[in-house]
Amino acid sequence: MGLAPEQSKAFLGVERSITGRRWTPRLQTDRMAQAISQQANVSDIMGRILAARGVLPETAAGFLEPTLRDLMPPAAHMMDVDAGASRLADAVMSGEAIGLIGDYDVDGMTSSALMVDFLSAAGVVPRVHIPHRVDEGYGPSVAAVEDHKAAGVQLLITLDCGVMAHDPLLKARELGMDTVIVDHHQAGHELPQAHAVINPNRLDDTSGQGALCAAGVVMVLIGATSKQLRTRGWWSDARPEPDLMAMMDLVALGTVCDVVPLVGLNRAYVRQGLKVMARRDRVGVAALADVARLSRRPDAHSLGFVLGPRLNAAGRIGSALDGLALLTSHDKGHAMQLAQSLEEMNKKRQAIELATVDRAVEQAEAMLGKQAKLPVLVVAGEGWHRGVLGLVASRLKDRFDKPAFAIGLPRDGSAASGSARSIAGVNLGAAVQAAVTAGVAIKGGGHAMAAGITLEQARLGDLRAFLEQQLAAEVDAVASVDILTIDAAIAASGASTRFIEDLGRAGPFGQGNPPPVFALPSHKVVYAARAGADHVRCTLVQSDGTRLKAIAFRAMGTELGEVLLSERQMPLHIAGRLTINDWGGKREGQLFIDDAAEVPGR
């Protein structure tokens, strides 16, 4: 067994970096890495990267080339998939009216788009409702259910929502509608009344697929439904069975943007989805990439930080139906109009977000000034736009390295709603569910890394106290030592495009499969300047003169940014993640800087 990070020898001797972190090796012993290198015929560095992520010599080949065939669970292994697929196939073949209720984030939009695409191929045009974030709030409502019933819907499918919607789905049953819930959020002990509740995070599900986002669960359902329709003879030359592999771009988008762990089936979903997206067959995604000036081959970063925010902008400050329309469009001209509209919404969202973040940071700093060891930040403001609260919580979490809640207080005194984001190792979804059970919150839910909550404004202080007590032990356990884990050391001369492309075999990287972090020992900063609003762009050089371009995101105004901008004489140890920069058609290595440190002993 390896040493705990705080017990291992500091990487390059860095006990305290410029950002206040101790650098430690991600892998404590080389033995497993060497075995992987030999058995899988990979480089020593790749062996270290795989070993540090729990890959064994005998599983390395499968990890480097994951396949859906090997990782997709049989329908019978996930609770209620067979029942849901059978009911959906019945509805398709008998011509029943099918209604969908989705969520307003990217996972909800892609889940809805998957179902719309599949049902369209099967000859059904479903009726789709995605709630307005501000006017309606999250999940199915009684009003939405009644609206579907008034339109003649016989089968209701909820996507990325529904597992906690007891009253609305009871209403659906009373109105004579069958319901199939497709969700992935943490479920309570009692499930809503429905024909099928497909959720790998329901307490009695033993499929082991709890890391899936909703789009990933939808793919399991439509795969089982397509198989049932094939068995029943529904597909024909006139109505061909859809190519589900061609829909993997939507699954990849939902998976990356919902920040679920990129392990197992999720990793295979994203690998395949990126290949599909690179073909640019989906005109809406291609239009969005063009408007965003995304010229390089899509990767997980571009899904999460380029395409995702633009789609989310629709659900945050507009209508998520615009995002759904873009994802399901077959008209290039219309798709380009929608993509340009989302681009403008995103710019508006950015302005609202920045203003709200400033106010939230002031609150957080004041709280920490009074009690530095707060386990969780709960900030609130009158009139804060509900559409940016998740982003504000994420900024606070990143800045203060604590779970964070950002809550908007309506000026009319009505119930407050907010969003929360967590740090690794702290389960926010469970904490919010506990707050609801304890009567501190009206409703709420989510998963380990993100959650939503609604409460009476008068209970805000009670919520703070409850969460501080509920999360103190978890936060203390993960925050005992502030560390940066390093995978390996490398010089600027080693950061070739070929090397970086080879690293991609261990990807896609993200939550649960962290991107490799490399330390560049004793490199000088020979150029640095501000880039955009708050980034620092620079050029690093090693002792033999080899240069590497680098950028530190959101570093302006931080100690790291000041050092990069000012230090020209002394070499620094610099840590970060390698990527390929192909701006202007020239492909070259680039470092995303995470940290830097003085060279010990100099």
In 3D space, the residue among 111, 1, 18 whose CA is nearest the CA of residue 576 turns out to be: 18
On whether residue 31 sits in a domain, the answer given is no
- Over residues 261-272, the pLDDT tens digits come to 999 999 999 999
110 in any annotated domain:
yes
| Strands 588-598, 547-552: pairing kind | parallel
Q: How far apart are CA 62 and CA 39, in angstroms?
A: 12
- Residue 411 in any domain: the answer is yes
Same domain, yes or no: 90 and 235: yes
Angle, CA 549 vertex, CA 544 and CA 551 arms, to 5°: 135
pLDDT band at 74 (very low <50, low <70, confident <90, very high): confident
Is 215 a domain residue? yes
Do 106 and 133 form a contact (C-beta atoms < 8 A)? no
What CATH number is associated with residue 535? 2.40.50.460
Say if residue 387 is in the same domain as residue 506.
no
- Give the neighbor-by-neighbor strand order of the sheet with 196-198: 127-129, 98-101, 155-159, 178-182, 196-198
Last residue of one domain, picked from the residues 213, 228, 245 = 245
pLDDT tens digit string along 386-443? 899 999 999 999 889 899 999 999 999 999 999 999 998 899 999 999 999 999 999 9
| Residue 21 structural domain | 11-26+483-598
Residue 7 has pLDDT above 70, yes or no: no
Q: Tell me, yes or no, whether 471 and 529 share the same domain.
A: no
**CA–CA gap between residue 507 and residue 274 (Å, rounded):** 11
Calculate mean pLDDT across residues 167-187: 96
Residue 130 shares a structural domain with residue 183: yes
Considering the domain architecture, whether residues 407 and 459 belong to the same structural domain is answered as: yes
- In the chain, the amino acid numbered 61 is A
User: How far is residue 151's CA from residue 171's CA, in Å, rounded to a whole number?
Assistant: 15
3-state secondary structure of 244: helix
Same domain? 96 vs 181 = yes
- Max CA distance (Å), the chain: 78
Residue 514 and residue 485: Cα distance in Å, rounded?
A: 10
pTM for this structure?
A: 0.86
The alpha carbons of the chain give a radius of gyration, in whole angstroms, of: 25
User: Is 503 part of a structural domain of the chain?
Assistant: yes
Residue 335 lies in a domain: no
508 preceded by a cis bond (ω within 30 of 0) = yes
**How far, in Å, CA of 28 to CA of 566, rounded?**
34
**In this structure, is residue 5 part of a structural domain?**
no
Indicate if 472 and 550 belong to the same structural domain.
no
pLDDT value for 5: 52
What is the rounded average pLDDT for all residues in the chain? 94
pLDDT in tens, 315-363: 999 999 999 999 999 999 999 999 999 999 999 999 999 999 999 999 9
C-alpha distances in angstroms, 511 versus 264, 275, 424, 507? Answer: 12, 20, 9, 11
Domain assignment present for 58: no
Name every residue whose Cβ is closer than 8 Å to that of residue 240 and which is 6 or more positions away in sequence. Answer: 121
Q: What percent of the chain has pLDDT over 70?
A: 98
Q: Do 456 and 490 reside in the same domain of the chain? A: no
Distances (CA, A) of 307 to 339, 411, 414, 541: 10, 33, 34, 33
Task: Phi first, then psi: give them for residue 590, nearest 5 degrees.
Answer: -150, 150
Q: For 358-375, how does the pLDDT look when each residue is reduced to its tens digit (9 = 90+)?
A: 999 999 999 998 877 899
Q: Do 76 and 212 lie in a common domain? A: yes
CATH number at residue 458: 3.10.310.30
Share of the chain above pLDDT 90, in %: 85
Number of structural domains found in the chain: 3
Residue 214 carries which side chain, given as an amino acid letter? A
**Considering Cα of 56, then 57, then 58, then 63, what sign does the dihedral take?**
positive
Same-domain pairing of 533 and 551: yes
Q: pLDDT tens digits, residue range 130-166? A: 999 888 888 999 999 999 999 999 999 999 999 999 9
pLDDT at 65 over 50: yes
How many other CB atoms are there within 10 angstroms of residue 500's CB atom? 20
The verdict on 442 and 550 lying in the same domain is no
**Residue 401 and residue 448 in contact, taking contact as beta carbons nearer than 8 Å:** no
Domain boundary among 195, 227, 245: 245
Of 421, 455, 478, the residue that ends a domain is 478
Q: What is the CATH number of the domain that holds 176?
A: 3.90.1640.30
Same domain, 425 and 570: no
